Amino acid sequence: MPRKQNRSNATRDRILAAAAIVLTRKGYAGARLVDIAEVADLRAPAVYYYFESRDELVAEVMVAGQRWLRDHVSTALDALPPETSSLERICAAVEAHLRVELELSDFATAVSRNSGQVPPEIRAELAREGAEYHALWRRLLNDAKDDGAIRADLDPAAARMLIIGALNWAPEWWNSSRGSVDVVVATAQSMIRHGLCAPTGLDLALQSG
């Protein structure tokens, strides 16, 4: 029985992975069960053995993608030395987010590309799951503001939405012909540092000069 259960779980995981690929490539409207089954190397009716509907499958992929992203960013932050500054913690979160989106997970990319296309009930479920990720970023930005690492005139809530929105949009425009992921990461981190940081005395002197 355990061996049979393991095979069943493996098939289910294969369907989920196939659905993430198809959602990333074709979007919610174009993601047909027959396409998902083909990528999973199954016949289309077999998908209904594991999922009652296409939307149930899509919802599970989207929630899994959101969790994958949050867990990856959390793990990257937990691995930082205790003395890491609040601004460098933000930059580490930026890198972890982009690498998941652009290199590691079709699940996370499926979320970014389809969260605005799915039905309201799936969107609501995704929003509940995504609230924890936004809470993580809220803590990062509030810590940086408390430390004086970011400008006092910035609204952390607006900054959080703009940063996450920009990171989530990266899969829509990036491909390898636009440069390496390393370049994208470094550029994003530079924009974060210079956009959030309070100007130093040298910066002010250069501006006035």
Q: State how far the Cα of 26 lies from the Cα of 95, in Å rounded to an integer.
A: 26
The torsion of the CA quartet 115, 87, 156, 100, rounded to 10 degrees, works out to: 0
Tokens 């074709």 correspond to what residue? Answer: 26
Lowest-pLDDT range of 38-42, 71-75, 157-161, 198-202: 198-202
| pLDDT score of 1 more than 80 | no
At residue 2, the pLDDT reads 52
Going by pLDDT thresholds of 50, 70 and 90, the confidence category of residue 7 is: low
Average pLDDT over residues 171-181: 82
Of 105-119, 123-137, 190-204, where does mean pLDDT reach its minimum?
190-204
Q: How far is CA 202 from the centre of its chain?
A: 36
pLDDT for residue 205: 44
Give the largest Cα separation in the chain, rounded. 77
Please choose, from the candidates 73, 99, 110, the residue with its C-alpha nearest in 3D space to the C-alpha of residue 184: 99
Domains of the chain: 59-208 (1.10.357.10)
The CA distance from 84 to 80, in Å, is 7
What would the mean pLDDT of 197-206 be, rounded to a whole number? 53
- Pure H helices in the chain: 2-30, 33-39, 44-50, 54-78, 86-99, 106-114, 120-146, 156-173, 181-196, 201-208
19 touches 61 (CB < 8 A): yes
3-class state of residue 150 by DSSP:
strand
For the ranges 3-12, 14-23, 110-119, the lowest mean pLDDT is seen at: 3-12
pTM of the entire predicted model? 0.81
Q: What is the mean pLDDT of the chain?
A: 86
10 Å CB burial of residue 197 (0-12, 13-18, 19+) is: middle
Q: What is the rounded distance in angstroms from the CA atom of residue 19 to the CA atom of residue 62?
A: 10
Give the pLDDT of residue 88.
Answer: 95
Question: Does pLDDT of 93 surpass 80?
Answer: yes
